[in-house]
Amino acid sequence: MYTIVTGACGFIGANIVKALNERGVTEVIAVDNLKKADKFRNLTDCEIADYLDKEEFLDLVEAGQFDGAVDAIFHEGACSDTMETDGRYMMANNYRYSSSLLDFCLDQEVPYLYASSASVYGGGRVFQEAREHEGPLNVYGYSKFLFDQIVRKHMAEANSQVVGFRYFNVYGPREQHKGRMASVAFHHFHQYRETGKVKLFEGCDGYGNGEQSRDFVYVEDVVKVNMFFLDNPGKSGIYNLGTGRAQPFNDVAAATVNACRALDGQPALSLREMVAQGIVEYIDFPEALKGKYQSFTQADVGKLRAAGYQDDFATVEQGVAKYVRHLAK
């Protein structure tokens, strides 16, 4: 029997494969698209049973080759570029592909744990898993939103577990292949090491410089929540996966700089001192993002807690410090 992980060479998918290995699970089918070949590095310390291209895998699923052979599917594969403008590609890749795997899992009564996104909330201020709070700002968010609606329609009659995770701003190891879509912490680390400064957007939407706030969640916590639901197959639903705390981008910048300074044996600085010394620099807000940008996100984790997940989530200061030590190796 196999555990399937789509997007297995990607950020969250690779961390899930590693976590499965740490549990002794090595009969893992890694599914991905290696058009960007350097993603393979995310799996070099992992054990898998086989690798399949995402199109080949779907063809085999639809041909019945995996009938009766799957323990669970973690569907992490998606185009996550919020600036992608090819709506046909986004819908085929994120919506239609996800729907085909859902049909398979419901038919086979196999647990289906999939990646949704906090982008479904768009510019709203209430981040609660309810239709009235959802209004995506781009086609990426819409692709995730629409699939969540399909899941809701099937949930009542499903005889097996279906869980959607609305990931907020995830950061941590194994994201280096994402380029400009990598986390702010990743970019800040490299900016500081290369130039001695980090860059943040100036204020917008009524927020001061660097004060736009997001719910930043460390990838280790994301994986722990996925494993919790794997261990509790009777629990289904769509859940926010964030910390429940919004922290400004200034906090990420300060945490990154101070973690780097600590590695160099230097004392911590306040944000005010960083700005005065030119270590934190504010740049113009991009025109291309105006009207498409979430200036504030904060997961309502009440439903997740009610499902039984009670572990603490790392703060930005805790998670970034750990991540910087990893990046500096």
- The set of long-range contacts for 103-109, using a CB threshold of 8 Å and a minimum separation of 24, is 104/61, 104/62, 104/66, 104/73, 105/73, 105/160, 105/162, 106/154, 106/158, 106/159, 106/160, 106/162, 108/67, 108/68, 108/70, 108/160, 109/159, 109/160
Catalytic residue selected from 121, 140, 239, 309: 140
171 is catalytic: no
Of the candidates 79, 83, 70, 58, which has an alpha carbon nearest to the alpha carbon of residue 10? 79
Catalytic residue selected from 2, 18, 51, 178: 178
Q: What is the CA radius of gyration of the chain?
A: 20
Q: Which residues are catalytic?
A: 140, 178
